[in-house]
């Protein structure tokens, strides 16, 4: 028989402390300092210009929660912390807290959580209001998280018998998915659609990647702007989950009409199993959509297949993208 304990409840109620600790550690570049100063609290504190008591307390908390190890009075990085949370690592992704824990996102979750449950979604437009500033934070912060997935998809696309020459990137955000394809397919031209402020970030990234000559932007709502036709590939990365099924069908119908004969669309999504409680990360994403959008959800493979058929696609496949928690949804 399982022990009866309130610890799970208490841990969940205090989960905001973990977010605060990570924001502090990333803001101080604490993990890099630990690596360079051999985990000595006094030297780490001097390097990050913080009180030694503050550094010790923060490091102990991070040790308790698995981000550090403690040997005598010194701290050591775990392999995952070293890989993803030190700025000297090419896989560094600490900056994503600027979006995931942005004040705008926290407000959607904490101001009145009862309301979005009772309402079946955010009261108002949530993060879908026109030109919401949080998407600039998304575009700047999330690159390290999506970069490996964008690279893997680009390699798959480049290996097609006929790699795409005209690519439409809908709700492009940081632009990394289209940019990665432009790098992998030398004659591919990308058209990126998003709000103007977000596209400014995408253009910066395209310039840094050396593909700006083949990167064109089109500002406006994906539902309203006329983006043209005869595309060899349409990208819908991390977008469909913001909307209800009927809206997704409407958008997918527009996508299908914009494709050249025999072309396809690719979506990147968190796809839970039919039980909607596994795998944990993808299934839990449904609550993220409940809090931050009026009608969004994490859709199952069966639901994507249904939406694709209603939009006129004859084939829909869902393929996991490990080690990412996301999946590739292909509409043909």
Nearest CA to 141 out of 198, 180, 195, 216 is that of 198
pTM: 0.91
Distance CA 79, CA 65 (A): 14
User: Can you read off the two tokens belonging to residue 249?
Assistant: 């069908």
| Whole-number pLDDT of residue 136 | 86
| 77 beta partners | 68
**pLDDT, tens digit, for every residue of 213-266?**
999 999 999 999 999 999 999 999 999 999 999 999 999 999 999 999 999 999
| Whole-number pLDDT of residue 156 | 97
Distance CA 317, CA 305 (A): 7
Mean pLDDT of the chain: 95
Angle among Cα 115, 194, 174 to the nearest 5 degrees reads 90
How would you classify the pairing of strands 316-320 and 327-331? Answer: antiparallel
Q: Which of 76-80, 134-138, 154-158, 321-325 has the lowest mean pLDDT?
A: 134-138
**Is pLDDT at 129 greater than 90 in this prediction?**
no
**Is pLDDT at 26 greater than 80 in this prediction?**
yes
For residues 234 and 206, the answer to whether their CB atoms sit within 8 Å is no
**pLDDT, tens digit, for every residue of 149-176?**
999 999 999 999 999 999 999 999 999 9
**Is pLDDT at 325 greater than 90 in this prediction?**
yes
Per DSSP, the three-state class of 329 is strand
């Amino acid at each position: 028989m399982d022990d009866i304990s309130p610890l799970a409840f208490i841990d969940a109620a205090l989960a905001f402390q973990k977010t605060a600790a990570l924001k502090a550690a990333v803001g101080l570049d604490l993990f890099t300092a630990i690596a360079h100063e051999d985990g000595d609290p006094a030297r780490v504190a001097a390097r990050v210009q913080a009180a030694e008591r503050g550094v010790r307390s923060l490091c102990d908390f991070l040790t308790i929660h698995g981000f550090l190890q403690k040997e005598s009075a010194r701290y050591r990085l775990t392999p995952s912390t070293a890989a993803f949370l030190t700025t000297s690592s090419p896989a560094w992704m600490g900056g994503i807290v600027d979006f995931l824990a942005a004040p705008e996102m926290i407000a959607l979750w904490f101001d009145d959580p009862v309301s979005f449950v009772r309402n079946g979604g955010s009261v108002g437009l949530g993060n879908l209001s026109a030109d919401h500033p949080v998407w600039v934070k998304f575009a700047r912060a999330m690159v390290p998280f999506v970069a490996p997935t964008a690279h893997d998809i680009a390699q798959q696309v480049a290996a097609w018998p006929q790699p795409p020459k005209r690519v439409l990137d809908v709700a492009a955000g940081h632009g990394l998915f289209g940019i990665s394809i432009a790098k992998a397919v030398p004659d591919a031209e990308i058209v990126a659609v998003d709000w103007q402020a977000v596209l400014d970030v995408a253009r910066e990234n395209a310039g840094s990647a050396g593909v700006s000559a083949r990167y064109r932007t089109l500002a406006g709502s994906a539902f309203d702007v006329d983006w043209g036709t005869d595309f060899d590939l349409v990208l819908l990365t991390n977008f469909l989950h913001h909307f209800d099924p009927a809206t997704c069908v409407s958008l997918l119908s527009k996508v299908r009409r914009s494709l050249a004969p025999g072309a396809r669309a690719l979506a990147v999504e968190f796809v839970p199993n039919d039980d909607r409680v596994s795998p944990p990360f993808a299934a839990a994403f449904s609550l993220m959509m409940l809090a931050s959008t009026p009608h969004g959800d994490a859709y199952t493979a069966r639901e994507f297949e249904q939406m694709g058929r209603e939009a006129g696609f004859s084939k829909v496949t869902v393929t996991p993208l490990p080690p990412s928690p996301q999946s590739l949804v292909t509409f043909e």
